[in-house]
Structure 1
Amino acid sequence: MTSPRAASPRALAWRRRGDAFAAGWRQFARQRSGLFGLGLLLVIVALAVLAPVLTDREGLNVINATGGPLEAPSGEFPLGTDRQGRSVLLLTLWGARMSLTVGFVAALLSIGIGTIIGILAAHYGRWVSAGLMRITDFFLVLPSLVLAIALSTVLNPGIGTVILAIGITSWPPSARLVRAQTLTIEARPYIERSRALGGGHLHVITKHVLPAVLPLVFVNTTLAVGSAIVAESTLSFLGLGDPDPMRPSWGSMLRSAWLDSAVIAGAWWYLLPPGIAIAIVVLAFTMCGRALESVLNPRLREG
């Protein structure tokens, strides 16, 4: 019987990554709050993705509204209707698509910018670090919401403007966090050995620094999505979101409820669903992020 051929270094590396992922999942599964948050997110994302299958998008058009203004919840409209007679449940489901899309993309943009700046500042040091950190400090002292409002006002309104405004105003904390982690990693002996063996800047960053920083980046991204959803809701509530009524978000629903005097009219079903949805999603992302942080940080896990 012939002996099996020795596994290649790449196969061994992927096997180690698989073992590490399995161990991390076992640690995550012990965090009940993290599992609960993950379950909530899966349900909400599934409803958002399946919204075109479960509902008819044409119901968002005011012309096709079949209900009366501000009807209370009933069998036909489980969450009632808005001032134009549209189903609040339909608006909430389609608003989830917009809010989650903006949250994910804006968070990825923010974390991407922060990761690049943080790694470059820590790796090259000297004047590169000084220049990048002064830019970071400049953005840190500016109120991010005020800067996002200014950008949304200057640029053409739309989903792209909202994503850009949130992404380029919320990256400084990530940059400082990644820079500190990169400095810790580059002080380790294997980085010195890699440089001594002829490894260039690109090799050190992509093969050693970035893989070691990615867990922290992943946790930070999870927490940043919730913040991005809140920022999008704030901009939309202030009238700086997507003006297209066929692309509602939870923030634009809150603005419409306020403009339609839902509180004065006693139409609680118009105001509560988007507010509760925002709170649930942010809470779920926070629980997942904290659970991941405890998995990837041995000191928190021991505590």
Structure 2
Amino acid sequence: MANSTSIDPIVTARKEPGILVQIARRKLALFGLFLVLLTVFAAVFAPWLTSFEPNEQMFDGLSIHGAPMPPGGAFLLGTDLLGRDLLTRILYGARTSLIIGVAANGLALLIGTIVGVTAGYFRGWIGSVLMRLTDLMMAFPALLLAICLAAIFQPSLWIVALVIAIVYWVQTARVLYAETASLAEREFIAAERTLGASHIRILVKHILPHLVPTIIVWGTLGISTTVLLEATLSFLGVGVQPPTPSWGNIIFENQTYFQAAPWLVFFPGLAIVTLALAFNLVGDALREILDPTQRGRD
């Protein structure tokens, strides 16, 4: 007589916990997620977190000698060389960094996905042309190319985002090209072709779902890179132009006061490093969670 208490191995298979649960188990990832959410909160609710305007020049924002006010009192992080509240400009600058970081990275992911998947799936002359274009773009230093493109166009928030996307899509295209080329050789793809499935159906139903984890990881890690690149362009004067606050142009405007008023450079620099670190921590955790080859290395 069969044992009535026999256990079905399919029913009792251990269910993998959700992504948020797995992130919560990683202290560094949880800390990074907290910093990201804190930055988003500060950017969205900036008008309610400060009583000043980002470009408001206060009469009491400078000393009697015309020097910026140090941190403390009414100005928690001090003022800049024009008597503007530094905390207010950093809060509003978070909006600029996040908008450009997300927009530029999203556009770069879109371009890179289209190029990489198309080249990896069709290969032949189509793949060769697209990959040679990718190699050509990779031959130019990304920062130098971004500076040249930003200098040609009138710098603005959306132009900077477009410029960053143009120079950053190549890494995504390379990674997705390799993965798509590998998937295209699998038996289930060959079976779909034999059954007469169209290229669009194969790409949408079978190729792209396997690439989602890679796209998510690259999207998360890429935001830190785009934030740093935006700050660099703004610092060099070819990014977001004053008086629009950006963490990079805040440092650029106040760099001559670094020795006399180091807080003018330290606090926006700390904001840049913190946000980049936060996205890297979350991105590394997502890579470990979504990539089977990374599991068990925690």
TM-score (norm 2): 0.89
Q: CA deviation at 1:301?
A: 1.0
Contact 1:59 1:65 in 2 (8 A): no
Q: 1:134 aligns with which of 132, 135, 140?
A: 132
In the other structure, the counterpart of 1:61 is: 56
Query: 1:154-303 to 2 correspondence within 5 Å?
Result: 154-245=152-243, 247-258=244-255, 261-265=256-260, 267-303=261-297
In the other structure, the counterpart of 2:121 is: 123
> In structure 2, the residue corresponding to 1:302 is in which secondary structure?
coil
Which ranges of structure 1 fall in alignment gaps of 5 or more residues?
1-18
Q: CA deviation at 1:31?
A: 1.9
Q: Is the counterpart of residue 52 in structure 1 residue 47 in structure 2?
A: yes
Q: Distance in 1 between matches of 2:266 and 2:234?
A: 16
Q: Measured at CA, do residues 158 and 228 of structure 1 come closer, stay the same or move farther in structure 2, by a change above 3 Å?
A: same
Q: CA deviation at 1:269?
A: 1.6
Q: Distance in 1 between matches of 2:185 and 2:227?
A: 36
In the other structure, the counterpart of 2:23 is: 28
Q: 2:112 aligns with which of 106, 111, 114?
A: 114
Q: Distance in 1 between matches of 2:52 and 2:75?
A: 15
In the other structure, the counterpart of 1:12 is: none
Contact 1:152 1:161 in 2 (8 A): yes
Task: Show CA shifts across 1:123-167 (max 9, x none).
Answer: 111000000000000001100111100001111121122111110
Task: Show CA shifts across 1:213-249 (max 9, x none).
Answer: 011011001111000011101100011122240x210
In the other structure, the counterpart of 1:10 is: none
Q: Measured at CA, do residues 66 and 97 of structure 1 come closer, stay the same or move farther in structure 2, by a change above 3 Å?
A: farther
Task: Show CA shifts across 1:71-123 (max 9, x none).
Answer: 01122001000011111100110111101111111111111111110000011
Q: Distance in 2 between matches of 1:256 and 1:244?
A: 9
Q: CA deviation at 1:33?
A: 1.2
Q: 1:95 aligns with which of 89, 93, 96?
A: 93
Task: Show CA shifts across 1:269-302 (max 9, x none).
Answer: 2111110001101111101000000001122112
Q: CA deviation at 1:59?
A: 4.4
> In structure 2, the residue corresponding to 1:209 is in which secondary structure?
helix
Q: Which amino acid aligns with 2:220?
A: T
RMSD: 1.6
Q: Distance in 2 between matches of 1:56 and 1:114?
A: 42
